[in-house]
Amino acid sequence: MTSTDAPPRLTRLAFHGPLSEARAARIVARAAESLTAAERPTVLDLGCGWGELTLRLLEAVPGATAVGVDLHEEDLARGRALARARGLADRVEFVAESATDTARGPADVVLCLSSAHALLPAGAEPPYAADALRALRRLVRPGGRVVLGEGFWQRTPTAAELAGMWPDARADEHLHLGGLVDAAVAAGFRPMWVETASAEEWEEFESAYLADVEVWLAANAAHPRAAAARERADRHRAAWLRGYRSVLGTAYLTLVPVG
């Protein structure tokens, strides 16, 4: 198999979401506060992908250990390789399993970054964030932190914008930012920190998400796999630029459990 047999996958992304290096460093610093106070600090990363934020937490708190849970084996393999390269392989486990009704935890820090859907049971009804927050509440230890990266509507989308998004997009599947924070409070948290991804973070993420395949397509236009790759890339770009751009936001909530 040569390097042109398929486009590389997401190699230009450090994080699988609109998250800058500067914001990630601040999130890690806040989450690390609760880890350093714990006797045997643990991190649980749900829908972890390759677990970059978890690895940075382990680097920040040398006594901590972690488990990352995801169903995408390619991402998990990337996480294991990154852990080995950074001398963290003995402190983190990347597990291929569902996060729904997980028996993992409780942990001192629970991360769920753009993965709240992974916590939902079959047939869950919108708004989905409320169910995800209730699930996260039972997975965090007293005095710990939950870091939730979750979508919210910056404004109510029009019918045309919804039609341009992902299949079956609905106006009620996300909350507005105030409603999302209210749902966190109702689930048993106090919001330590509320922040949202900037337009620049979104553009960096969306461009980096597609950059590998776009470069590959330019060099392999006649490849047997090019038509399918081109259709996926064009569909994703159209959904962003004609659907959810400036409509869908991402909030990063650092939450403290009550009681």
CB 171 within 8 A of CB 156: yes
In whole angstroms, what is the distance from residue 43 CA to residue 122 CA? 26
Mean per-residue pLDDT over the chain, rounded: 96
Does any domain span residue 240? no
Per-residue pLDDT tens for 50-83?
999 999 999 999 999 999 999 999 999 999 999 9
What percent of the chain lies above the pLDDT cut of 70? Answer: 98
Q: How many domains does the chain have?
A: 1
The residue assigned the tokens 């649980």 is: 44
Full residue range of the structural domain in which residue 145 is found: 21-157+167-198+249-257
Does any domain span residue 241? no
Per-residue pLDDT tens for 230-247?
999 999 999 999 999 999
In whole angstroms, what is the distance from residue 50 CA to residue 82 CA? 8
pLDDT band, very low/low/confident/very high, at 4 (cuts 50, 70, 90): low
Does any domain span residue 128? yes
In whole angstroms, what is the distance from residue 129 CA to residue 149 CA? 10
Does any domain span residue 211? no
User: Which of these, 154, 159, 179, 180, lies nearest to 169 by C-alpha position?
Assistant: 159
